[in-house]
Amino acid sequence: MVIDFDRTIAYRCAACGEITYGDFSLFELSGKKGISVHCACGESNISITADGRTSFNVELDCVICDSPHKYSLKFDTLAKRDCNDFQCPEVGVGLAFIGKNKSVNMAMEESEAMVGDVLMACGLEHTGKNGILMLKALDKIQDLSENDNLKCHCGSRVIDIEVRENEIVLKCCVCGTKSVIDISEIKKNGFSRLSKIIIGQK
Ligand SMILES: [Zn+2]
Ligand SMILES: [Zn+2]
Ligand SMILES: [Zn+2]
């Protein structure tokens, strides 16, 4: 029997929403340092570090709920199972997959298809790879609106929200003032912490 020590890790970056892939060997996990894979945007990483002799901690920031998540992974499980998935406890979306290359790729593809279905159900299928971020941003904007924190400089609270592929356009239905929120602004971590949006006011 030939034992395959190579493993693949795939995760969704919490900052930019892209999927990042990395390869490692089970031997690389033997040291104290463990391994980590970084997204090309430089804003996030996923790490696997030793937790005692027989298990590991898998840690990453969550693209869905913005919190850091920590999972325990037994060495046995990692060695034997073709694919281990790590989901956000808030929503059943796979954030990361670790295992054999083929199985990980397949699992991520399936997960992408599932996310696609959710986006379709929300009428956001045109946002493509920005889908999850747009969904989150829209949720945030609706949240602000419900709490009276979305308004126009003219005083109006009747705001039209249009989600495009790379931006969200907010338009006041009274005076017509527009505010465009670019995807790069949404990708910045501060967006989810905004306490109010006032259109036409910088
Ligand atoms: Zn990224
Ligand atoms: Zn989460
Ligand atoms: Zn207005």
Return per-residue pLDDT of the chain as tens, 202 residues: 577 899 999 999 988 888 999 999 998 987 778 999 999 999 999 999 999 888 999 999 998 888 899 999 999 999 999 999 999 887 778 899 999 999 999 999 999 998 889 889 989 989 888 888 898 899 899 999 999 999 999 999 999 999 999 999 999 999 999 999 999 888 876 788 899 999 998 6
Domain end position, chosen among 81, 96, 121: 121
Q: Do 85 and 162 reside in the same domain of the chain?
A: no
Q: Do 90 and 160 reside in the same domain of the chain?
A: no
Other residues' Cβ atoms within 10 Å of the Cβ of residue 194: 16
Q: Do 143 and 169 reside in the same domain of the chain?
A: yes
Q: Do 158 and 90 reside in the same domain of the chain?
A: no
Q: Give the DSSP H/E element, type plus range, for residue 114.
A: helix 101-121
CA 192 to centroid of chain Cα atoms: 12
If you measure from the C-alpha of residue 179 to the centroid of ligand 3, how many angstroms do you get, rounded to a whole number?
11
Q: Do 136 and 92 reside in the same domain of the chain?
A: no
Q: Is the pTM of this model over 0.85?
A: no
**Is 172 within 8 Å of 199 (Cβ atoms)?**
yes
Q: Do 54 and 94 reside in the same domain of the chain?
A: yes
What are the C-alpha distances in Å from 17 to residues 36, 108, 183? 18, 13, 11
If you measure from the C-alpha of residue 132 to the centroid of ligand 2, how many angstroms do you get, rounded to a whole number?
12
Q: Which residue has the tokens 């912490």?
A: 193
Domain that holds residue 181: 127-199
If you measure from the C-alpha of residue 185 to the centroid of ligand 3, how many angstroms do you get, rounded to a whole number?
22
| Domain annotation covers residue 98 | yes
Q: How many independent structural domains does the chain possess?
A: 2
